[in-house]
Structure 1
Amino acid sequence: MLTDSLIDFGGVLLSIALLYFSLLSYARWRRPHWHTRLQERRAVTLLLLSLSVIAIQVSQEVLGGETSELDIAILEFLHQHASATTVTFFQWVTLAGSSHFLTPLGAVLTAVLLVARHRREALLLATSMISSGLLIYLIKMAVARERPALWDTAWYWGYSFPSGHTMGTAACATALALCATSFWPAARLPAIILAGLWIALVALSRLVLGVHWPTDVLVAACLGTVVPILLQLTFNAIRPAERRIPGVNEQSQEN
């Protein structure tokens, strides 16, 4: 099992490297203006490729209707070593990823951003959470993976793949980290750490409670992180075009 995992990990790294250099080569020869931006945003590009490749690689096993031995082993290990206090703690933690918490939080923070006239950040937060919610529902209905039944657990609506709690948390936390970074660039590292900690705790809570497979939360965390980053890149690509319009209008008025 360990050997297979190492081989899969090596394949993932190779796929990421090939995709990255292929993208750079294509941009250099066909889209020169992309090439400079890709080099300037190398870290973001590699992050997006890494998360996407991991999500696709893991999803292939799930779509094949397989539950790996590693999935089962991780859940059994956590169940055997989780005390009653630990389970109680994560029962509270998992609430931070529920729709009952994330929906009002997102609505309130979006309203605050709008009142503060940070419309772009408000749009990023709102669209990230709405998009992730729709994506969760569509994937769950399409894959229809049953939840783990290794021991008696609390009942949750819906299928297992992907984890809605984890994906919703990842989308919200990543969007908030991006918003905080746009306000205070110096706060980038603390914002990333806090967002990562929130996502990790909620993801772990779903495993400790035994209501999701590890692959459910891994793919959910990857997709939930990718959505806000892609949206921000899209908004940033549109913004220059928006800024050129006033200049054109002013020139036409002067003529």
Structure 2
Amino acid sequence: MATNESDGKLKRASVVISLILLIGLAFTFKQPLLVRYDVKIILFFEGIRTEFLNDFFFLFTEIGSIKVLRPLAVIVSAFLLMKKRYLEIFFFLLAFLGVRGVNYLLKQAFERERPSFNSIIEAGSYSFPSGHAMNSTAFFGFLFYLFIHILKVGQKHRLVWLTVTITIVVLIAISRVYLGVHYLTDIVAGACGGLLYLFIVIYLYKLSSRHMRQEEGKGTS
């Protein structure tokens, strides 16, 4: 009971902080002070570039791309289909596809140009908020949620998988600044947006799952 209460408080705090950061950055990312620090951070990463780090962060930026997430989504969906978890398939695809649509709309609304420095790779569309950060947060976050609930992962192993999930998402996010295609404020806003979207999908999934169990209970009574 105490664990559930603490988890609930942590989730509520995460939602509030993410919402405040996202809204705050939406109104301030063009302010000279933030722009100055954004530029300094990009130049810092440019200064530490090596061939090894270039390959390392390019790998993680690829992991967060549609080229990797799409086939991974197909594999996960096929696994859920084998398990006859149709509700989970729907919400997993909602997490995968829906967040991309929301990110596109946000990019079009803010129309922030990408950094014009020595980027290692080419990137299209606008910069704010980061699609890689937002999409990977929602995608891997919901994948982790499904994984621990469907496979009934214990508390000890749950912490391990949570650490792995967070590490992957963080490295994907950092890769975008390192490679020179995003500002740090884009990344923070993207992660916050992805986290908010993730909590919404999880909330709707829980609501739908509870409703289905109630309907099944009525049918057997």
Secondary structure at the aligned position of 2:29 is classed as helix
Q: Which runs of 5+ in 2 are unaligned?
A: none
Trace 1:149-188 onto structure 2 (pairs within 5 A): 149-182=116-149, 183-186=151-154, 187-188=157-158
Aligned equivalents of 2:86, 2:216: Cα separation in 1: 18
Instruction: Give the superposition deviation at 1:38.
Output: 7.7
Query: Which residues of 2 match residues 223-234 of structure 1 at below 5 A?
Result: 223-234=193-204
Q: Which has the larger radius of gyration?
A: 1
Aligned 8 A contact 2:45 2:178 in 1: yes
Distance 1:120 1:249 in 2: 18
Which range moves more in the overlay, 134-143 or 52-61? 52-61
CA distance in 2, matches of 1:65, 1:81: 25
Question: C-alpha distance in 2, partners of 1:63/1:208?
Answer: 20
Q: Which range moved further: 197-206 or 216-225?
A: 216-225
2:180 partner letter: G
Residues 18-59 of structure 1: per-residue CA shift (max 9 Å, x gap): xxxxxxxxxxxxxxxxxxx98872221112222222222222
Q: C-alpha distance in 1, partners of 2:18/2:213?
A: 32
Match of 2:59 in 1: 92
SS of the aligned residue for 1:225 comes to helix
Retained in 2: the 8 A contact 1:63–1:143? Answer: no
**Closer, same or farther in 2 for the Cα pair 1:109/1:240, shift >3 Å?**
closer
Distance 1:193 1:40, change over 3 A: closer
> For 1:150, what is the secondary structure of its paired residue?
coil
Per-residue Cα deviation, 1:106-147 (whole angstroms, up to 9, x for no partner): 122112112122233322321101111101111111111000
Question: Which stretches in structure 1 are left out of the alignment for 5+ residues?
Answer: 1-36
In the TM superposition, what are the counterparts of 1:113-152 in structure 2 within 5 Å?
113-152=80-119
Q: How far apart, CA to CA, are the structure 2 residues paired with 1:149 and 1:164? A: 18
Q: Which residue of 2 aligns with 1:4?
A: none
Please report how far the alpha carbon of residue 152 of structure 1 lies from its aligned counterpart in structure 2 after TM superposition.
4.6
CA distance in structure 2 between the partners assigned to 1:129 and 1:221 by the alignment: 15
Root-mean-square deviation (Å)? 2.3
Cα distance in 2 for partners of 1:181, 1:104 equals 21
Shift of 1:64: 6.5
Structure 1 residue 249: Cα displacement: 4.6
Percentage identity across paired residues of the two chains = 24
CA distance in 1 between partners of 2:202 and 2:124 (Å): 31
Question: What is the SS of the residue equivalent to 2:164?
Answer: helix
Q: What is aligned with 1:76?
A: 43
